[in-house]
């Protein structure tokens, strides 16, 4: 197609006389600045090692370098739809093996990436419901139940600064004060707490060997197991009402760093960008469906379980201790899990210890108690730990592990979650 162009004639340029100075250039350097002593000023620049570069999130999926793909007919095979995002300022990019249905990194605010001016982006936890009759009694009882068991000079100073000198503290509120009555109110408030409503109590039956050939083992009931159903914990964490659910990654990806020369190197940063997560996500796509829902078309995703348990002492003096089991989810970033107020750490169970009455039972039942007491205690503590996990890995969890569990997630979409164990950090309970 031919087009006509109108070209305006340019003015005639004549050479300038040699005596005429050249016109000033806009890019000419500014005149040097001098100090009061007449010396030129130096330009000081902060060394590169002291310059802080603020972190930035990975590029969202809208900025992907993607080629249009043809619409495929429905197949019975599992087809990967690879997707690679653009690199950010640091050269980091993601490569998805499956097109993700939800990208939590697209909603990360800047204040979650770095702190400015020493401010803490973590919002403080909500104030608990007052238990005692007024705020003055509340402050006094909180002081009594905190700090060291033996009040030192530092504790008395803390009493004066944190309680007595507080503007909300009123001396007339302590008229008729009684410590025993306030302790009863605290105990009643703990029993009515909704946190304990989700816990169940149970006794653990362990088999104690007799030590004699032909004599069957005896059974001893260990009381005091406090636990929550794992399926209920997973359901609550991934549901749309959970504040943690919007941070979960459902689709694994591989993280790469692209150098200025174009060379790419694999980067390992989170659970959901590891090879194990990618492999297990592939296996889940081939997992069976429940017999009552053979035509379910919901998206199959992983619930990466990360358990931790360790015995801890509750006081500086005495033998009071607690043995909790915590659960975290590898679907959330390690930076989210590391926040103390993020709600990422779930209380699953509190393991009981062998009571003092056990040794009386074992001494009368085990024929070799006098010479093999230590070995028997080690064996029974190990059986106690296995008994706890028999309660946690109940039929509902085994069913969810095999067939998945349907949960309505933070984006309002229902997905089929398959819980899988990724890490378990624990001590040796038998020791």
Taking only the tens of pLDDT, the chain with its 431 residues reads 444 444 444 444 444 444 444 455 544 566 778 777 778 877 777 787 777 777 777 776 654 444 555 554 544 445 556 788 888 888 999 998 878 888 887 766 666 666 655 544 445 555 566 667 677 777 777 777 776 666 777 887 788 888 888 888 888 888 888 888 888 887 777 666 544 557 889 999 999 998 888 889 889 999 989 999 999 999 999 998 888 888 999 999 999 999 999 899 999 999 999 999 999 999 999 999 999 998 999 999 999 999 998 887 766 666 667 889 999 999 999 988 988 878 889 999 999 988 889 988 988 888 888 888 888 888 999 999 999 999 999 999 999 999 999 999 988 999 999 999 999 998 766 55
Query: What is the DSSP-derived secondary structure letter of residue 40?
Result: B
Phi/psi-derived region of residue 384, left when phi > 0, alpha when psi is between -120 and 50, beta in every other case: alpha
Q: For residue 88, what are the CA distances in angstroms to 60, 63, 105? A: 10, 10, 13
Q: What is the pLDDT of residue 213?
A: 85
Contacts 24+ apart (CB under 8 A), 198-204: 198/228, 198/232, 199/226, 199/227, 199/228, 200/226, 200/227, 200/228, 200/229, 201/225, 201/226, 202/227, 202/391, 204/352, 204/384, 204/387, 204/388, 204/391
Three-class DSSP labels, 332-365 = CCHHHHCCCCCCCCEEEEECCCCCHHHHHHHHHH
Q: What is the pLDDT of residue 76?
A: 44
CB 346 within 8 A of CB 326: yes
Q: What is the pLDDT of residue 63?
A: 45
Quote the pTM value.
Answer: 0.67
- β-bridge mates for residue 93, sequence order: 256
Cβ within 8 Å of residue 155, ≥6 positions away: 147, 148
How many angstroms separate the CA atoms of 287 and 402, rounded?
Answer: 7
Q: Where do the domains of the chain lie?
A: 132-192, 201-250+289-431
How many angstroms separate the CA atoms of 289 and 295, rounded?
Answer: 8
How many angstroms separate the CA atoms of 328 and 313, rounded?
Answer: 22
Tell me the Cα Rg of the chain.
33
Nearest to 303 by CA among 229, 409, 413, 395: 409
Question: DSSP labels for 377-411?
Answer: HHHHHHHHHHHHHHHHS-HHHHHHHHH-EEEE-TT
CB 121 within 8 A of CB 55: no
Q: What is the pLDDT of residue 116?
A: 57
Nearest to 159 by CA among 144, 174, 181: 144
How many angstroms separate the CA atoms of 83 and 99, rounded?
Answer: 6
């Amino acid at each position: 197609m031919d087009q006509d162009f109108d070209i305006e004639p340019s003015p005639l340029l004549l050479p300038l006389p040699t005596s005429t100075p050249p016109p000033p250039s806009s890019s000419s350097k500014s005149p040097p600045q001098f100090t009061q002593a007449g010396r030129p000023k130096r330009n000081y620049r902060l060394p590169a090692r002291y310059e802080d570069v603020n972190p930035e999130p990975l590029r969202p999926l809208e900025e992907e370098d993607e080629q249009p793909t043809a619409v495929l007919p429905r197949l019975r095979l599992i087809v990967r739809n690879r997707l690679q995002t653009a690199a950010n300022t640091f050269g980091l990019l993601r490569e998805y093996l499956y097109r993700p249905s939800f990208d939590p990194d697209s909603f990360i605010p800047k204040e979650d990436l770095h702190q400015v001016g020493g401010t803490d982006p973590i919002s403080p936890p909500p104030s608990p419901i007052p238990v005692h009759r007024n705020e003055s009694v509340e402050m006094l009882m909180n002081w009594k139940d905190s700090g060291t068991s033996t009040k030192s000079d530092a504790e008395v100073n803390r009493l004066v600064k944190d309680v007595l000198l507080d503007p909300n503290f009123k001396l007339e509120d302590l008229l008729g004060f009684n410590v025993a009555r306030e302790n009863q109110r605290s105990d009643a408030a703990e029993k009515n707490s909704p946190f304990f409503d989700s816990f169940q109590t149970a006794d653990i039956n362990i088999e104690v060997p007799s030590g004699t050939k032909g004599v069957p083992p005896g059974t001893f009931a260990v009381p005091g197991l406090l636990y929550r159903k794992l399926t209920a914990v997973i359901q609550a964490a991934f549901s749309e009402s959970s504040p943690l659910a919007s941070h979960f990654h459902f689709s694994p990806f591989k993280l790469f760093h692209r150098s200025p020369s174009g060379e790419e190197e694999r980067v390992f940063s989170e659970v959901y960008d590891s090879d194990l997560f990618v492999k297990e996500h592939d296996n889940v796509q081939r997992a069976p469906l429940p017999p009552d829902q053979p035509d379910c078309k919901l998206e199959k995703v992983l619930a990466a379980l990360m358990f931790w348990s360790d015995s801890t002492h509750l006081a500086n003096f005495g033998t009071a201790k607690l043995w909790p089991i915590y659960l975290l989810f590898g679907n959330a970033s390690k930076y989210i899990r590391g926040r103390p107020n993020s709600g990422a750490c779930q209380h699953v169970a509190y393991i009981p210890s062998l009571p003092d009455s056990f040794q009386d039972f074992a001494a009368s039942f085990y024929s070799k108690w006098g010479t093999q007491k230590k070995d028997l205690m080690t064996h029974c503590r190990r059986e106690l730990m296995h008994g706890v996990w028999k309660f946690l890995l109940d039929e509902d969890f085994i069913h969810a592990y095999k067939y998945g569990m349907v949960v309505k997630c933070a984006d309002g979409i229902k997905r089929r979650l398959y819980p899988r164990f990724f890490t378990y950090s624990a001590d040796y309970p038998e020791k």
